[in-house]
Amino acid sequence: MTYRQAKYPEPLVFELSQSEREGGFFNPEIEEIPEIPPKLRRERLNLPRLSEPEVVRHYVRLSQMNFGIESGLYPLGSCTMKYNPRACEDFSALPQVRDIHPLQDASTVQGALEILYRLERMLAEIGGVKRVCLQPAAGAHGELLGMLLVRAYFKDIGENRTEVVIPDSAHGTNFASAAMAGFRVVVIPSNSTGRVDVEALRAAVSDRTAAFMLTNPNTLGLFEHEIKEIASILHDAGALLYYDGANLNGIMGKTRPGDMGFDIVHFNLHKTFSTPHGGGGPGAGPVGVSEKLEPYLPVPIIQYDEDKDKYWLDYNRPKSIGKIRSFFGNFAVLVKAYAYLLMMGASGLKEATEVAVLNANYLKEKLRRIPGFEVRYDPEAPCKHEFVLSAEPLKRETGVTARDVAKRLLDFGFHAPTYYFPPIVPEALMIEPTETEPKEELDRFVDAMKQIAEEARRDPETLKRAPFSTSVSRIDEVRASRRPILSWKQFVRLRK
Amino acid sequence: MGHRFVPNSFLLKEMLKELGIDSVDELFRDIPPEFRTDRLNLSPPLSEQETLWHLRRVLSKNRYQGEIPIFLGGGCWFHYVPAHVKYITQRGEFLTAYTPYQSEASQGLLQALFEYQSLVAELIGLEVVNASMYDWATALGEAALMSCRVTGRRRFLVPHFISPERRSVLQNYCEGIGMRVDEINQDPNSGQIDLDHLRNVLSEDVAGVYIENPSYLGFLEEQVDEISDLTHRAGALFIVGVNPISLALFKPPGEYGADMVVGEGQPLGQSPSFGGPSLGIFACRNDMKLVRQMPGRLIGMASTLDGDERAFCMVLQTREQHIRRERATSNVCSNEALCAIAAAAYLASMGPEGLKTVASISMANAHYLMKRLAEIEGLDAPAFHAFHFNEFVLRRVDGGTMRDFNQKLLQENIHGGHILVSEFPELGESELICSTEVHSKRDLDRFVEAAGKIMEGKK
Ligand SMILES: Cc1ncc(COP(=O)(O)O)c(C=O)c1O
């Protein structure tokens, strides 16, 4: 039996449109429709006209031409693609969640505020931080907030610090977030074991340094065991330590970023806390801080008045940076994470981490023994929740690249690993199985990798044309970017 | 050991043995002992049933639209979400996918996002729409940064009447590059942009001029052609913020010279959910000088390598953080893709007539309320003499406070508008009222009746 993804010759909604069909959802009650001044009035609106059954069938077909964690193993490194509990979808669809407005009087949304307050306390406990701002919409948004807090802090204490130090193995958002907040980025190399080169860090840190951004475990899945030394280099120089929480699934419940000395910590709820990624979002990227950064957090802070048993919104924060998005963040996502945390509990979180790390080490040990693949950095050390395999030996031998291997994996009914990241590993395949994969699935993955390595030797040319079982074969992405077609409107104009 | 989400818990020993180790702790031996946590101070796991009980109990303290009518808008709107739109976004293949990095296995998502871009492009009248930003406010922040990249200038103009939250987000986005945000005056009676003031502040360092249409306070701007003209003559970009539902009835920004459009896409198929998830709309003219400076993901039409089968993939990725790092056009990575799919399914379902119906019921309801409330002694509406869509400012002129007015409405199981006293003190005791098709005529009449009683002092 082999895997096949669905394939429909599915037109665009505009091509399905029939001139007479209509939605017709509402029956107006008020007869008097105000007359819009001609100057303001719209003349033409080109939206497709479809009946409801056509719309449903269209999007169901499209969904079938897509792959989610519910479809199969999704070992996309750095993204923590774990099972998303269906219960959380039900909970967040309750009318008391969906149909409340962010500007409601606080007395009418006490339930929502209580959830936010409790979620904040839970994240603060997991991260080892004082307070948490739940507003950022994603990890990168949390990074931007973190960097703005760094700015506000140094401005407040009257120090002019212009640089942020980042390891060369870091995620692209770290560099971009620091730059967006106006810092000059200073990149330091990793050492021969794939970790922060402490001497290079020491040399890079000065009285211009505002912060060091680090994820621990790092993007190679290796724990930065010299973290104490790293933290003291930064703190001795008066600078701050920022934690990119994308990799929290490797240590949650085993150690806490705040305890390791991180001053600012972001969490990726759409990774570690199992809220579905939605094909790219919505996520949530709460930011936790130590006491000295608390005054700068965005407003409002949610406070609890024990005497009155009331939650209230505290806007009276003179040093606050203001807002980094509207309202309270992606609330429905926050509700899902809250429910997930309740269902996991303290013991479940620790168990999740332990099994996520076990699964990763299990895969690592099996895969690095397949000729053609290797683990470059510190292969004997246990990895955390993920590891990076290099396909460089295979490429040297057969010409088959990491991308080819990844594309071929799609034919086995797996999603591909992250590839060509982190950039310090040639032909990188970054693999993160998570704790929610059964062993049988991991074993099937190992078998697929073995078969691909064999195919690479036997018939590399065929392999280079993979995938064959997805709804379309390999796409000419280079040409698509050369003269991009970005909408139906543009397509129709060009066709004329 | 053995949580139901963790299938291998019971195989722990067996798998450890294959790794040649005795205890899972050995996998964590590289964490220095001083930093190890014994146990987190969180409660033990709850079952699914217990979690539901807990959530029901906590959430029972919320009052919600449907249980009571809520007349709030201001950047987040109640609109009816058809059941099948919710169903489509609950499809696991969409819901539980990551960003479509593997285009061959993600054609469904990529096509749906391309359709989102296309449908919004029709609605706003510009050809290029990205695959979403976090929300309207962050889209505005990104638009300001983009106007700086395109023009090389560092000043940004915004109208006086703008949501203070949006203004604050903009300020924070501009902070890093040292971009200055200044205000354009608006006529206190009509809310219309003061063209003379605009002319004065439009110096050579202005990168972008931003207006909202309809404005935060619900009125339409009539001098869009003049504003566009002035802006372009000064070499700046013209940026318009929108409520997309309004565009079923009102002239789209693409027809009056907008270079970029931002807005809140939440009303297209998403419930308010206390303000999030939201959907940042971000669009620009089809000019590669602009497109190359755009933030966020862009989905393009493509073809397969081995023939000419139509396909879709992410394009122009060299703008993005994972390639360009600190020189990227933005740091955005995860966006609001699923909300964009909801918007696509919603727009495809409504069609032109359905969307016009939604917009005209919303407008008719608001105008009905406006007229009826204005008849009540001590109330005055609208505060601005201009055409309004579905929101307007109600003023109280009898010496009482809006706070008291809203509290008394709540006792009648009605949630009034958003009080503006601290945001715009010059408007006096005032609130921003919004209505949409989620309100029945009975809801509107109850509101008017209760307001009448309150103002007569009978409450
Ligand atoms: C290490 C790391 N940092 C930051 C991010 C950015 O997170 P988000 O996509 O939520 O913005 C990612 C996401 O892939 C990541 O893997």
- Residue A448 domain-assigned (yes or no): yes
pLDDT at position A28 is 83
Distance between CA B69 and CA B88 in Å, rounded? 27
Put simply, the answer to whether A33 touches B330 (Cβ < 8 Å) is: no
| Percent of the residues in chain A that have a pLDDT greater than 70, as a whole number | 99
Q: How close B397 gets to chain A, by Cα (Å)? A: 22
Distance between CA A476 and CA B100 in Å, rounded? 15
pLDDT at position B323 is 85
- Residue A406 domain-assigned (yes or no): yes
Residue A341 has pLDDT above 80, yes or no: yes
The residue whose CB lies within 8 Å of the most ligand 1 atoms, and thus the one to mutate among A74, A78, A275, A430, is: A78
Residue (of A254, A300, A360, A383) closest to B33 by Cα position: A254
Instruction: Indicate the residue among A341, A358, A378 that finishes a domain.
Output: A341
Q: Assess whether A99 and A175 both reside in one domain.
A: yes
The pair of structure tokens assigned to B225 is 């052609």
pLDDT at position A1 is 62
Distance between CA A369 and CA A363 in Å, rounded? 10
- A39 vs B contacts (CB less than 8 Å): 222, 251
The mean pLDDT of chain B is 97
Restricting to B residues 160-199, those with a Cβ less than 8 Å away from any Cβ of A are 163, 165-166, 168-169, 171-173, 175-178
What is the ipTM, given to two decimal places?
Answer: 0.98
pLDDT at position A23 is 61
pLDDT at position B306 is 87
- Residue A79 domain-assigned (yes or no): no
pLDDT at position A22 is 67
Using CB distances shorter than 6 Å, the residues near ligand 1 are A 78-79, 138-140, 171, 173, 215, 219, 244, 246, 268, 283, 285; B 333-334
Q: Assess whether A61 and A91 both reside in one domain.
A: no
Residue B1 has pLDDT above 80, yes or no: no
Ligand 1 atom 5, closest CA:
A139
- Residue A432 belongs to domain spanning: 347-481
Put simply, the answer to whether A474 touches B317 (Cβ < 8 Å) is: no
Q: Assess whether A330 and A354 both reside in one domain.
A: no
Q: How close A97 gets to chain B, by Cα (Å)? A: 6
**Domain spans of chain B?**
83-346, 351-456
Residue B272 has pLDDT above 90, yes or no: yes
Residue A364 has pLDDT above 70, yes or no: yes
Model confidence over B307-361: pLDDT tens digits? 789 999 999 998 988 888 998 999 999 999 999 999 999 999 999 999 999 999 9
Residue B458 has pLDDT above 80, yes or no: no
Model confidence over A236-289: pLDDT tens digits? 999 999 999 999 999 999 999 999 999 999 999 999 999 999 999 999 999 999
The pair of structure tokens assigned to B373 is 């409330």
Q: Assess whether A41 and A162 both reside in one domain.
A: no
Q: Assess whether A327 and A357 both reside in one domain.
A: no
- Residue A361 domain-assigned (yes or no): yes
Residue A232 has pLDDT above 70, yes or no: yes
Model confidence over A474-490: pLDDT tens digits? 999 999 999 999 999 99
Q: Please tell me the distance between residue A250's alpha carbon and the centre of ligand 1 in angstroms.
A: 15
Put simply, the answer to whether A68 touches B112 (Cβ < 8 Å) is: no
What is the pLDDT confidence band of residue A32, given thresholds at 50, 70 and 90?
confident
pLDDT at position A25 is 73
Nearest residue on chain B to A36, judged by CA atoms?
A: B387
- The DSSP code sequence of B184-199 is E-B-TTT--B-HHHHH
Distance between CA A418 and CA A77 in Å, rounded? 5
| Percent of the residues in chain B that have a pLDDT greater than 90, as a whole number | 96
Dihedral sign for Cα atoms in the order A217, A221, A225, A230: negative
Assess B22–A contact: CB distance below 8 Å, yes or no. no
Residue (of A39, A2, A3, A5) closest to A472 by Cα position: A5
- Residue A223 domain-assigned (yes or no): yes
Residue (of A355, A359, A431) closest to A388 by Cα position: A431
The beta strands (E) that lie in A400-458 are given as 418-419, 428-431
Assess B320–A contact: CB distance below 8 Å, yes or no. yes
Average pLDDT over residues B132-142: 98
Tell me the three state secondary structure of residue B238.
strand
Q: Assess whether A183 and A236 both reside in one domain.
A: yes
Q: Which of A22, A173, A182 lies nearest to residue B351, judging by beta carbons? A: A22
Q: How close B239 gets to chain A, by Cα (Å)? A: 17
Residue (of A152, A74, A24) closest to A441 by Cα position: A74
Put simply, the answer to whether A325 touches B8 (Cβ < 8 Å) is: no
What is the pLDDT confidence band of residue A54, given thresholds at 50, 70 and 90?
very high
Assess A492–B contact: CB distance below 8 Å, yes or no. no
Q: What is the DSSP letter of A382?
A: P
Q: Assess whether A333 and A354 both reside in one domain.
A: no
Instruction: Indicate the residue among A341, A360, A383 that finishes a domain.
Output: A341
- Domain B83-346 sits in CATH at 3.40.640.10
Average pLDDT over residues A50-70: 97
CATH of the domain at A264: 3.40.640.10
Q: What is the DSSP letter of B137?
A: H
Average pLDDT over residues B192-196: 98
Same fold, B83-346 and B351-456: no
Average pLDDT over residues B229-245: 98
- B84 vs A contacts (CB less than 8 Å): 52, 55-56
List Cα–Cα distances, A374 to A219, A359, A395, in angstroms: 16, 18, 12
- A379 vs B contacts (CB less than 8 Å): none
> Residue B310: phi, psi to the nearest 5?
-70, 140
Residue A31 has pLDDT above 90, yes or no: no
pLDDT at position B38 is 80
What is the pLDDT confidence band of residue A20, given thresholds at 50, 70 and 90?
confident
pLDDT at position B307 is 79
pLDDT at position A21 is 72
Model confidence over B361-409: pLDDT tens digits? 999 999 999 999 999 999 999 999 999 999 999 999 999 999 999 999 9
CATH of the domain at A355: 3.90.1150.10
- Residue A212 domain-assigned (yes or no): yes
Model confidence over A142-193: pLDDT tens digits? 999 999 999 999 999 999 999 999 999 999 999 999 999 999 999 999 999 9
- Residue A491 domain-assigned (yes or no): no
Q: Assess whether A214 and A140 both reside in one domain.
A: yes
* Domain range B351-456, its CATH number among 3.40.50.300, 3.90.1150.10, 1.10.10.10, 3.65.10.10: 3.90.1150.10
Helix axes B107-124, A52-64, angle to 10 degrees: 140
Instruction: Indicate the residue among A324, A341, A358 that finishes a domain.
Output: A341
Q: Which residues contact A423 (CB under 8 A, 6 or more apart)?
A: A168, A169
Residue B459 has pLDDT above 70, yes or no: no
- A248 vs B contacts (CB less than 8 Å): none
Q: Assess whether A355 and A308 both reside in one domain.
A: no
Put simply, the answer to whether A251 touches B31 (Cβ < 8 Å) is: yes
> How many domains does chain A divide into?
3
H or E element that contains A387: strand A387-390
